[in-house]
Amino acid sequence: MKKVFLLLLFLIFGVSSHGAAEQKVSILLYHSIDEFTGHGLKGLYVTPENFEKQMTYLKEHGFTLLTFEQWQEREKVNKPIFITFDDGYKNNLKAYAIFQKLKTPNFQPKATIFAISDFVGRPNRLTAAELKALADSGIFSIQSHTATHPDLTKPTTNYEYQFKASKEKIERMTGKTVFVLSYPFGKFNERVLEEAKKYYQYGLTDNPLIHTENGKTNKNYLIPRQYIFYSTTLEEFARIVE
Ligand SMILES: [Zn+2]
C-alpha cells in the first residue's frame, strides 16, 4: 500500500513538474537587429543597443540559450530560452557580433535564423556564404521560413516548393539539417499543418498563446513565440522571459 502511495506521489509530482517546466520556456521572436531608418515596420526592429542589453540580462540571470536541435533538453537545463530571427536579414550579423562579445565558458549563446530561401543574397538579406559561416559558428541554427514568404493558407500554395524545396536549398547552403519551419505572417490552417508535417519536425507561430489554446493537438506544429518589439523596455523584456 505504501509503495502504491509513493508511486502515486511520484507520478503526480513528476507530471506536474513536467507540465510547469514545459510552460516556462520562452521562444523570442526578432526580425531586424538595427537602428530604424524608415524602412519597413519600426516594430520589427530592435536596436543593437537594446538587443545587447536583453542578451546581457539573459546572461546575468542564468538563462540557457538553445536551438531546436536541443528541444528535448529544454526541461533539463537551467532557465531554457530560444532566440529566433525571422526573414534572414543581413543585420542579424549585428546579433552575431553581440553574441560573440558576450560569449564566455559559462554563457554559450545559441539562436535560430529562419531564412527565406529565394531571398538569400538579396541586398538586405544574408548571403549563402554568410548563412554557412553563421551555421559553422556553433551559435546559429539556420532553418526555413519558406521559399518566397507567401500566405500559406491560400489554396494556390505550392507546398512542395515552399516546404521541401526551401528546406533542401538551405541544407545545401549550410550542410546542416533543416527540420524547423516558421510560418510567414504566422498564418496557418489545418492543410498547412498537415503539409508541414511531411518535411518538418516543428512549426513555429508568432502567437504567444497558441500552445495553451490548442492543448496537445498538433503541439509541435503550433509552437508559440513572443514578439520583442522596438519599444520593448528591459523591464517588459524581464517580465516576458521570467
Ligand atoms: Zn517573415
Query: What is the Å distance from ligand 1's center to 126 Cα?
Result: 14
Tell me the pLDDT band of 217, cut-offs 50, 70 and 90. Answer: confident
**Per-residue pLDDT at 99:** 98
Cα 132 to ligand 1 centroid, rounded to whole Å: 20
Q: How far is the CA of 184 from the centre of ligand 1 (A)?
A: 5
Q: Residue 1: its pLDDT value, please?
A: 47
CA–CA separation, 209 and 234 (whole Å) = 21
Q: Calculate how far, in angstroms, residue 210's C-alpha sits from the geometric centre of ligand 1.
A: 18
Cα gap 209→130, rounded to integer Å: 33
Distance 87 CA to ligand 1 centre (A): 5
Q: What is the C-alpha separation between 35 and 32, in angstroms, rounded? A: 9
CA of 15 to the centre of ligand 1 (A): 36
Distance CA 100, CA 1 (A): 56
Residue linked to cell 528591459 = 234
Q: What is the whole-number distance in angstroms between the Cα of residue 59 and the centre of ligand 1?
A: 27
For residue 227, report the distance from its CA to the centre of ligand 1, in Å: 12
The pairing of strands 45-46 and 32-33 is parallel
For the chain, what is the mean pLDDT?
A: 91
pLDDT digits (tens, 9 = 90+) for 190-212: 999 999 999 999 999 999 887 66
What is the reported pLDDT for 212? 60
> First-to-last CA distance in the chain?
40
Query: Considering the entire predicted model, what is its pTM?
Result: 0.89
How far, in Å, from the CA of 77 to the mean position of ligand 1?
29
CA 185 to ligand 1 centroid distance, Å? 6
Where residue 215 falls among pLDDT bands split at 50, 70, 90?
Answer: low
CA of 158 relative to ligand 1 center, distance in Å: 18
How far apart are the CA of 39 and the centre of ligand 1, in A? 15
Q: How far is the CA of 203 from the centre of ligand 1 (A)?
A: 13
Distance 8 CA to ligand 1 centre (A): 46
Taking only the tens place, the pLDDT of each residue in 7-34 is: 444 444 444 444 443 457 899 999 999 9
Residue-wise over 33-69: b if at least 16 C-beta within 10 A, else e? bbeeeeeeeeebbbeeebbbebbeebbeeebbbbbbe
The Cα–Cα gap between 99 and 157 comes to 37
